[in-house]
Amino acid sequence: MIKKRIPFILVISLLLVPLSAFIHLSTGEIYVSLNDFFSAIFEFKGNNSTHVLIREFKIPRILIAIVAGGGLALSGMLMQTLFNNPLAGPYVLGINSGASLLVALSLMSGFSFFGSDIGIISAALIGAFLAGILMMAVAQRIHSQISLLLVGLMFGSFTSALVSILESLSGEGALKAYTLWTMGSLQQVEFNQLPLILFIFICGIFLSFILIKPLNMLVIGERSAGLLGLKISQVRFLIMGITALLAGLITAFCGPIAFVGLAVPNLTRILLRTQNHSYLILGNLLFGSIFLLLCDSCIQLFSKQIALPINAFTSIVGAPFVVFILMRKLR
């Protein structure tokens, strides 16, 4: 029975991804029909303004929602398994904070190289990775799940204080660029950046699939996994690397996005009722994509009334769900 139920849910959600993309397409400010959408892909004409709109705005936004949703959910799942903590995630454990700090540093440094796309992306990746290493070092010393989260929270406060100091020291232009970046948005990605983003995303997925066996072993704890022959330090480093790669990439392009990496992996486990990571990886990718596509659709829907940053919206949906998990697990 179990064997049939999980593939069934996965297939259904695979069908829900294009459906959510369609909802996303039809909630935009300018109406786009499916016909236009496909002709923009297959018979692109540079002088057709609808085609240009689809190519320059719609497709990148839909793809980046899929990448950001799936990628953040996947990196959250990796961290939760690594730390054996259902409340871990790139946002709560300061991966985003690390990325934000370095992006702030590079934007406000005044050098034009650091303010360029490559500069921001590398800053975010390095910051994410450094924060990940720091959290790993902390997790070695404390074993309480709650304490680790508190350390993550403190790290977040500390970095945002540093960023405030930087802000007060920097000029108007840099300040504006940074503030826009922190708002978090799926609209800043351009068509020609997509290949790079998709390439890194697919690398992250591929590496996660290679780690299925270690991930399944880590479920029973590092010590027991080690006694079954798992090379802990090697695996820990790899998992942290993938997490930083995915979360750093997404943070660089979309700004910090909260709660997807925390809420979706828990939702996936509750829906699939398994700890087998070959299913969990697929589930997180699919549910994360659907979740963010629908969130962004809502933002588009209300865009005439208010300009909601994606970060605010995912928090509105995600935070109550996380409280629900807390009440269920840590009574």
Partner 1 sequence: MIRFEEIEIGYSKPLLFIPSLTLDTGKVYALVGLNGIGKSTFLNSITGQTSLLSGKLFLNQQELQKISKVNLPKLIAYVDSSFTGVEYLTVLDYLALGRSPHINNMGKLNTEDKQVIQEVVRELNLVHLIEKDTSEISDGERQLCAVARAIIQSTPIILLDEPTAFLDYLNRQKLIELLVLIAEKQQKTIILSSHDIDICINNALEFLIVSEKKILKTKVCDKQVVIREMEKNVLKSS
Tokens encoding 168: 């007060």
How many CA atoms lie less than 13 Å away from 7 in the CB half-sphere? 3
Among 24, 10, 113, residue whose Cα is nearest residue 68: 24
Q: Using the minimum distance from each CB to partner 1, give the nearer residue, 186 or 218.
A: 218
Q: Using the minimum distance from each CB to partner 1, give the nearer residue, 162 or 271.
A: 271
**Contact indicator for 235, 214 with CB cutoff of 8 Å:** yes
Helices vs strands, H then E, count in the chain: 16, 0
Phi, psi of 147 (to 5 degrees): -60, -40
- 2 binds partner 1, rule: CB under 8 A: yes
- E strand map for the chain: none
Three-state SS at 325? helix
- 195 binds partner 1, rule: CB under 8 A: no
Q: How far is the CB of 318 from partner 1 (least distance, A)?
A: 20
Among 208, 198, 194, residue whose Cα is nearest residue 74: 208
- 327 binds partner 1, rule: CB under 8 A: no
- 325 binds partner 1, rule: CB under 8 A: no
- 217 binds partner 1, rule: CB under 8 A: yes
- 276 binds partner 1, rule: CB under 8 A: yes
* Number of residues counted as binding partner 1 (CB under 8 A): 23
- 146 binds partner 1, rule: CB under 8 A: no
- 145 binds partner 1, rule: CB under 8 A: no
Query: 235 to 274, contacts with partner 1 by CB under 8 A?
Result: 269, 272-274
Chain positions contacting partner 1, by CB under 8 A: 2, 210, 212-213, 216-217, 219-221, 223-224, 226-231, 269, 272-276
